Amino acid sequence: MRIIVYQNYQLLSKKAAQIIASQIILKPNSILGLATGSTPIGTYKNLIKMYEEGLIDFSKVTTFNLDEYYQLPIDNNQSYHFFMNDNLFNHININKENIHIPNGMAKDIDNECLNYDKIIDNSGGIDIQLLGIGNNAHIGFNEPTINFNKKTHIVTLDESTRKANARFFSSLEEVPTKAITMGTGSIFKSKKILLLASGKNKAKAIYNTVYGEVTPEVPSSILQFHQDVILILDTEAASLLKDKDYEVLNEISKVR
Ligand code: F6R
């Protein structure tokens, strides 16, 4: 596990975008795993800028999103379909046919889950998976539980997750109670994983991810076993880590 800490969210976002951009430059038909939530928004802004500057081309890129709310219409402005179009896809030259987001409105939801993993496998697998992390250490919507879920599945959201996400809705009642998410196993199969965390409220989850026992009660702890994980943090998210375990990059020149 490689840990890089930046002084602030802006630098963290820039670094994450540069890593994803280099993946696309090295392999134009890369398979990207993408996340929603507040954390990756800065990364997406930087990727859009690099696209506008002609530095990266998304025309051959394929994407798979981690999750989607269950039974929230995709045109609802809180759906992850809406989020991805708004924050990334509408601003780059990605081929819409290459975009994959779980369909939380599918009539046969079991088949939707099964199929999602199949399409990922058939694509050759995810080259780089972008992750945020929940305050409770969830990745995707794999909530703390008694076993690691291998495959894409329906999950009941923790009350803490619903409360955390209520900031995007007009009331807590409106936050869906269920979601469809790639399993921890589906995420773990990614060749490279880039986990971003910003802010003090993520510090405990990050501490447990790095030092804690590997247990499904801390879903992100499984990443300790993955061979190519980079945690990109700001100083607040890294505040419980021991200094020797990471380098803090202060200067923007150092990330160029
Ligand atoms: C989103 C996702 C979640 C979020 C996590 C953190 O697709 O899978 O695991 O990454 O809930 O969300 P933010 O970034 O809003 O703190």
Check residue 249 and give its pLDDT: 65
For ligand 1, atom 11, which residue shows the shortest CA distance?
134
Distance 122 CA to ligand 1 centre (A): 26
Residue nearest to atom 9 of ligand 1 (CA): 140
- Alpha-carbon span 68 to 174, nearest angstrom: 15
Q: Whose CA is nearest to atom 2 of ligand 1?
A: 140
Q: Domains in the chain, start-ordered, CATH in brackets?
A: 2-249 (3.40.50.1360)
Q: How far is the CA of 36 from the centre of ligand 1 (A)?
A: 6
- Tokens representing residue 26 in the block: 């090295």
C-alpha to C-alpha distance for 224 and 155, rounded to whole angstroms: 23
Helix (H, G, I), strand (E, B) or coil at 238: coil
Mutate which of 44, 64, 70, 141 to test ligand 1's pocket (most atoms within 8 Å of Cβ)? Answer: 141
Cα distance between residue 42 and residue 9, in whole Å = 8
Ligand 1, pocket-test mutation among 12, 13, 36, 167, most atoms within 8 A of CB: 36
Q: Which two tokens stand for residue 138?
A: 């969830």
**Spatial separation of the C-alpha atoms in residues 131 and 111, rounded to whole Å:** 25
CA-based torsion, 56, 128, 23, 210: positive or negative: positive
Give the strand pairing for 2-6 and 229-234.
parallel
Residues carrying an active site annotation: 67, 136, 138, 143
Q: Note the pLDDT of residue 186.
A: 95
Which amino acid is located at 128 in the chain?
Answer: I
pLDDT of residue 256: 32
* Predicted confidence pLDDT, tens digits, the chain (256 residues): 899 999 999 999 999 999 999 999 999 999 999 999 999 999 999 999 999 999 999 999 999 999 999 999 999 999 999 999 999 999 999 999 999 999 999 999 999 999 999 999 999 999 999 999 999 999 999 999 999 999 999 999 999 999 999 999 999 999 999 999 999 999 999 999 999 999 999 999 999 999 999 999 999 999 999 999 999 999 999 999 987 677 766 544 333 3
pLDDT at residue 252, rounded to an integer: 41
Cα(243) to centroid(ligand 1), Å: 26
Query: Strands 178-181 and 67-69, how do they pair?
Result: antiparallel
Q: Which residues line ligand 1 (CB under 6 A)?
A: 35-39, 66-67, 132-134, 138-141
The amino acid at residue 173 is: E
Atom nearest to 181 CA in ligand 1: 8
